[in-house]
A = this chain, B = another copy of it.
């Protein structure tokens, strides 16, 4: 089937989403009860060995000092001033991201404000891998009104909205965002562009692979010799993936692994095959790179491919993003909203 085998990039257009503004003072005044309501239970500090149950949400609590300042309607940035501080705005958060990401901001990028406004006061920030409607609902129910998402909100890499203006699912999502007063910032290109890549940093930490990483080639890992099946089983268990797919001889000895999180196109993927025994990625086309790696095996080269699923292959990178934001944003709570793995397999249905 051909449909959609060619994809054409189209310029970004943000939806026209009106906003209901929520004062951050309302939040700060009731911060403690809000926190309990949001989490539903007291949560210990983030443990990197823990992965994601379906709708798990980690909240990175502000420090006690900042909590007190926030409760008083003050921010760290304004300490020492006598007047109450102005609330932190979406635009200020984006400016701080630009100032801290460590690379020049690109002219051509999908990293834009997709919904909301730069002037909106921020009540809380949620990072997520993909701003699905479900993730937006959970973030909003927790009082977060700035969502920082790695993947699109509106179904295309460029968050195009023109094709969907009459679409009921698009309209429902757009209207929910507007009604809840949410701003959404797409943070893809620069989070990958950062050195080291923010997604890779989060994934490596989640997997506990720091000791195996090649400092010269950050996608490469050298492991004590194992087999493909054991490597795959370890990743599946660590990331709690339900629908991982593996290509290659399960008994093949494995030492060199190359991980490229997210989608990998053919021409990016082919050079990886020379560099490692195993390629790990999020998604790729079956009639392109998958055929190539099958052929490598038929040609006598022992090569393997592990397809994690796009979402689970980058998710921990946005968990780490919440931590990173905390380094330069102390005025509002910052949390990570895990998007659920979309799939289950027929012998283990998941509601």
The answer to whether B9 touches A264, judged by C-beta atoms less than 8 angstroms apart, is no
Residues of B within 8 Å of A251, CB to CB, are 351
Q: Which of A295-351 contact B (CB under 8 A)?
A: 295-299, 301, 307, 309-311, 314, 342-347, 349-351
Q: Which of A151-167 contact B (CB under 8 A)?
A: 151-152, 155-157, 163, 167
Which range holds the interface residue count of chain A? 35 or more
The answer to whether B7 touches A265, judged by C-beta atoms less than 8 angstroms apart, is yes
Most buried by B among A4, A163, A244, A265: A4
- In the complex, whether A199 has a CB less than 8 A from a CB of chain B is yes
The answer to whether B344 touches A151, judged by C-beta atoms less than 8 angstroms apart, is no
The answer to whether B264 touches A4, judged by C-beta atoms less than 8 angstroms apart, is yes
A189 to B3, CA, bound (A): 11
Residues of B within 8 Å of A256, CB to CB, are none
A contacts with B: majority SS: mixed
Among the stretches A17-25, A33-41, A58-66, A283-291, the one at the interface with B is: A283-291
- In the complex, whether A83 has a CB less than 8 A from a CB of chain B is no
Given A2-B188, A345-B244, A349-B250: A286 touches B299 (CB 8 Å cut-off) = no
A236 to B299, CA, bound (A): 30
Residues of B within 8 Å of A342, CB to CB, are 245, 247, 286, 290, 294
Residues of B within 8 Å of A265, CB to CB, are 3-5, 7
Among the stretches A72-80, A114-122, A128-136, the one at the interface with B is: A128-136
Residues of B within 8 Å of A285, CB to CB, are 4, 263, 283, 310
The answer to whether A283 touches B282, judged by C-beta atoms less than 8 angstroms apart, is no
- In the complex, whether A94 has a CB less than 8 A from a CB of chain B is no
Residues of B within 8 Å of A134, CB to CB, are 294-295, 297-298
- In the complex, whether A30 has a CB less than 8 A from a CB of chain B is no
A186 to B29, CA, bound (A): 68
Q: Nearest residue in B to A175 (C-beta to C-beta)? A: B299
Residues of B within 8 Å of A298, CB to CB, are 132-134, 137
- In the complex, whether A99 has a CB less than 8 A from a CB of chain B is no
The answer to whether A156 touches B288, judged by C-beta atoms less than 8 angstroms apart, is yes
Given A246-B344, A294-B132: A6 touches B8 (CB 8 Å cut-off) = yes
Distance in angstroms from A313 CB to nearest chain B CB is 8
- In the complex, whether A173 has a CB less than 8 A from a CB of chain B is yes
- In the complex, whether A240 has a CB less than 8 A from a CB of chain B is no
A96 to B270, CA, bound (A): 37
The answer to whether A263 touches B1, judged by C-beta atoms less than 8 angstroms apart, is yes
Distance in angstroms from A193 CB to nearest chain B CB is 10
Given A9-B6, A283-B286, A286-B311: A250 touches B294 (CB 8 Å cut-off) = no
**Residues in chain A within 8 A of chain B (CB atoms):** 1-9, 130, 132-134, 137, 151-152, 155-157, 163, 167-169, 172-173, 188-189, 192, 199, 228-229, 232-233, 235-236, 243-247, 249-251, 260-270, 273, 281-292, 294-299, 301, 307, 309-311, 314, 342-347, 349-351
Across chains A and B, which 5 residue pairs bring their CB atoms closest together, nearest first?
Answer: A4-B265, A1-B262, A250-B349, A133-B298, A286-B310
Sampled A-B contacts (24; CB under 8 Å): A1-B262, A1-B264, A2-B188, A2-B189, A3-B264, A3-B269, A4-B265, A4-B266, A4-B268, A5-B9, A132-B291, A134-B297, A152-B291, A163-B267, A169-B295, A229-B346, A229-B349, A232-B349, A233-B347, A236-B346, A246-B344, A247-B342, A283-B285, A294-B342
